Amino acid sequence: MALHYGTAVIPTRSRKPRDKAKVENAVLVVERWILAALRNHTFFSLAELNKAISQKLTELNDRKFQKLDTTRREMFKNIDKLALKPLPAAKYEYAEWKKARVNIDYHIEFDRHYYSVPCQLRKEQVDVRFTDTTVEILFKNKRVTSYPRSYKQGAFTTCREHMPKSHQKYLEWTPSRIIKWAASNGP
């Protein structure tokens, strides 16, 4: 995710809030000015709570600092906003990984659906990267193939180029071709 957004994640030492003093101080300010102000209120919906938090946050950001003649909002506009980069065009898509063994029929089974890989990879172990919409299959960290994810259980998604030549030839014999061949060779 950090790579997608072009940033770095630098964790702090555990149980050491001193590493990020500004962040810890900001949390303290929010606790004092927003949470403390709303603690005795009763909210009947998430939207109502969010509206109250938003109002308090606006007040907090427009308050002047004690020792500076500026507000948090002005500092953000003059310093931080200028340094921000635009978000990537494509949103980040969460992916998970799984290992799979290629079956003798050059398919891997993932989520009860079967996806083909090049037949040369039979019996090899591959990595499967999957999202809600895509299934990618990698061998030795190189992408071999990618498919739209199918949720149809027990079904096969097969790419003709993944088949051995003998299986490709077999596909050429459609029912109409067999009938035509039989008519030309039969009685």
Distance CA 176, CA 187 (A): 18
Banded pLDDT at 16 (limits 50, 70, 90) = low
Q: What is the pLDDT of residue 12?
A: 80
Residue found by looking up tokens 């950001």 in the block? 61
25-81 confidence digits (pLDDT tens): 888 888 888 999 999 999 999 999 999 999 999 999 999 988 889 999 999 999 999
* Torsion sign (Cα): 24, 27, 33, 37: negative
77-115 confidence digits (pLDDT tens): 999 999 898 989 988 889 999 999 999 999 999 999 999
121-162 confidence digits (pLDDT tens): 999 999 999 999 999 999 999 999 999 999 999 999 999 999
Alpha helices in the chain (DSSP H): 2-5, 21-30, 36-38, 46-62, 72-75, 81-83, 165-172, 175-185
Three-state DSSP state, 8: coil
Q: What is the pLDDT of residue 70?
A: 94
Distance CA 132, CA 136 (A): 12
Instruction: Give me the residues paired with residue 143 across strands.
Output: 138
In the DSSP assignment, the letter for residue 64 is B
